[in-house]
Structure 1
């Protein structure tokens, strides 16, 4: 199922203080859909609240963790873990440590079976409802750049006529893409190497 946009055409219309025609509303929503996809790709997160069933390879814990195995749930924040099964066997012997799901007890087989780590299937609810305001604002900004200035105009003089392009002097084209400033704002939510920076209060 497609993920919902991070902002709506109605949100953009309020920002601009205008009423869209049906054609303008459709264009605005299409741009917001694109901006939402770009943001999700950068963050590696679904962002919006959802329930997912996914299967992970269990890894051995570090010696300081008194458990049999660990999986890291990639979608954040984790709101609720609904079910857990190890190699197809349902278990209630688990607990959460941040975004790590720790399996209380499991016998790791000897070789050659040991070369095939257990598979853990988890159904869990994750994401934000509502979408954090700064993420929604960036989706609106990215879409609005194209809506109000589809040719990305920046100053230049051609044949005595002055034209202005929105492309910065650094050569960084914007459009339905993210600026460096927007990326810095989003970095607090970004998942890198299996982690995410922070969870809003």
Structure 2
């Protein structure tokens, strides 16, 4: 909020603060959705289906790719609800040395791995922060989304999102290019049969 007020060069009234906070929240949500990341430092517990790894290359039972980046610390790992220390971290991958993959009752399905890990940025990188501020600023400065205006003949042109121009707190193509380095490009789907 203070950074947005500084950017605009003014002090917000209480009503303007509420509007500005709502716009900052919307812009943050749009950025998070685009990069498919939480961005801010947090701790998450989630369950994943272990996938097989190349036994010659990895010499392990399997791998789980943790979706939130960067992975700061792995706090706990459970394989089929049993705690284990038999793993190592390789970037965003959790590599498990051994697991009951080929023995009953897991013979018919891959092991389920529950991981508690800390991820994200503290502080948030400056370029992400700048994009959130700019997206909120655009709406405050130009709430109607007017691109051009002629007063004498009353001609108004609005921004068109189909050609890549912003509307509201949506991201421009340039902002998307900046955010691409933080973007998670692949995701896994956990399918379980009951």
Q: TM-score, length-normalised on structure 2?
A: 0.89
Count of aligned residue pairs for this structure pair: 187
* Residue matched to 1:100: 93
Change (3 A) 1:172 1:61: same
Moved more, 156-165 or 185-194: 156-165
1:109 partnered with 2:102: yes
Distance 1:137 1:189 in 2: 14
Q: Which has the higher helix share?
A: 2
- Picking from 47, 59, 77, the partner of 1:66 is 59
Distance 2:122 2:18 in 1: 24
Where 2:7 maps in the other structure, the secondary structure is helix
* Residue matched to 2:44: 52
Change (3 A) 1:182 1:14: same
Deviation at 1:172?
A: 3.0
Change (3 A) 1:96 1:155: same
1:143 partnered with 2:141: no
- Deviations along 1:117-137, one digit per CA (max 9) or x if unpaired, are 100000000000010100010
Change (3 A) 1:85 1:147: same
Moved more, 165-174 or 15-24: 165-174
Deviation at 1:44?
A: 0.6
1:22 partnered with 2:14: yes
* Residue matched to 2:69: 76
- Deviations along 1:157-186, one digit per CA (max 9) or x if unpaired, are 487134454558936342110000000000
Question: 2:35 touches 2:179 (CA, 8 Å); kept in 1?
Answer: yes
Where 2:121 maps in the other structure, the secondary structure is coil
- Deviations along 1:132-160, one digit per CA (max 9) or x if unpaired, are 10001000111111111110112254871
Distance 1:168 1:108 in 2: 49
Q: TM-score, length-normalised on structure 1?
A: 0.86
Q: CA RMSD in A?
A: 2.2
